[in-house]
């Protein structure tokens, strides 16, 4: 597909209610336009477009939020470079793009250097990079990247427990998700993550007027029937 064809496809899938919500909340933070398409639908459209690094690069420079998201989703993991992602992270506007950039089955988490990047960004002065670092850890918790063994993750659980309440809001949200992902890997990590989640207690996240969003209840997820069954607890 060409960039013009993707924009046409997005326009055809305009969600008027989503546009209205974007005008109220998203536009102010990002300055971008939007067709109001939800992430679930955007992921379906991205699959329809297919992976294409050059197209992804073209969509990323668009002034349309939905096009940027599709660009992030269709990029090719092996063609990503540190230089590219460092440039992109500098231009993430608002929490919406940062979330898709590092989470939501993001292309970045599939890059060969994803774990190394997460480790580097975790210690960065930039809160957006720290948010993305923990988003990557959540995605990588479903995989087995070299270096991310139980010993590393047990230390990371302690780090999250000790630092989460001193972090900025979106980093807190990302850390919370990472803790949940780690705790779903095996029995040992589940026990450690659950203990940390209980020690942390409620994590304060202000979603503004979006009453459909609530902070992630890590304890609930780590003690759910499906998690217990998966881990044989």
> At 148, is the secondary structure helix, strand, or coil?
coil
pLDDT at position 213 is 73
SS3 146: coil
- pLDDT classification of 224: cutoffs 50, 70, 90: very high
Average pLDDT of span 39-44:
94
For the chain, the domains span 1-75
Q: What is the pLDDT of residue 97?
A: 85
Report the pLDDT averaged over residues 60-67: 94
Beta bridge partners of 33: 64
**For residues 83-110, average pLDDT:** 86
CA 206 to CA 86: how far, in whole Å? Answer: 27
Q: Is the pLDDT of residue 211 over 60?
A: no
CA dihedral in degrees (58, 60, 63, 68; nearest 10)?
120
Q: What is the pLDDT of residues 98-116, one digit of tens each?
A: 888 998 888 999 999 999 9
Give the chain's mean pLDDT.
92
Higher pLDDT, 97 or 28: 97
Average pLDDT estimate for 49-60: 97
Distance of alpha carbon 199 from alpha carbon 190, whole angstroms: 14
For residue 25, pLDDT over 90 is answered with no
The partner residues of 64 in beta bridges, in order of sequence, read: 33
Across the range 125-140, mean pLDDT stands at 96
pLDDT of 86 over the 70 cut: yes
Q: Does residue 30 have a pLDDT over 90? A: no
Distances (CA, A) of 110 to 57, 124, 159: 17, 21, 24
CA distances from 221 to 27, 98, 182 (A): 32, 23, 11
pLDDT band at 93 (very low <50, low <70, confident <90, very high): low
Residue linked to tokens 């304060």: 204
Confidence of residue 24 (pLDDT cuts 50, 70, 90): confident
108 within 8 A of 102, measured Cβ to Cβ: yes
Confidence of residue 210 (pLDDT cuts 50, 70, 90): low
């Amino acid at each position: 597909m060409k960039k013009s064809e993707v924009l046409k496809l997005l326009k055809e899938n305009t969600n008027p209610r989503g546009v209205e919500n974007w005008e109220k909340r998203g536009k102010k933070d990002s300055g971008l336009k939007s067709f109001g398409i939800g992430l679930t639908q955007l992921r379906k459209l991205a699959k329809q477009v297919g992976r294409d690094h050059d197209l992804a690069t073209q969509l990323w420079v668009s002034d349309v939020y939905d096009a940027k998201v599709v660009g992030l989703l269709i990029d090719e993991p092996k063609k990503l470079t540190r230089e590219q992602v460092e440039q992109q992270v500098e231009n993430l506007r608002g929490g919406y793009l940062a979330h898709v950039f590092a989470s939501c089955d993001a292309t970045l988490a599939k890059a060969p250097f994803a774990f190394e990047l997460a480790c580097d960004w975790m210690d960065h002065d930039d809160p957006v990079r720290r948010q993305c670092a923990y988003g990557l850890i959540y995605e990588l918790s479903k995989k087995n990247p070299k270096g991310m063994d139980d010993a590393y993750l047990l230390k990371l659980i302690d780090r999250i427990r000790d630092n989460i309440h001193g972090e900025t809001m979106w980093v807190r949200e990302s850390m919370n998700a990472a803790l949940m992902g780690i705790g779903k890997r095996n029995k040992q990590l589940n026990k450690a993550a659950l203990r940390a989640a209980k020690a942390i207690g409620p994590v304060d996240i202000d979603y503004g007027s979006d009453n459909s969003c609530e902070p992630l209840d890590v304890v609930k997820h780590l003690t759910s029937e499906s998690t217990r069954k998966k881990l044989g607890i």
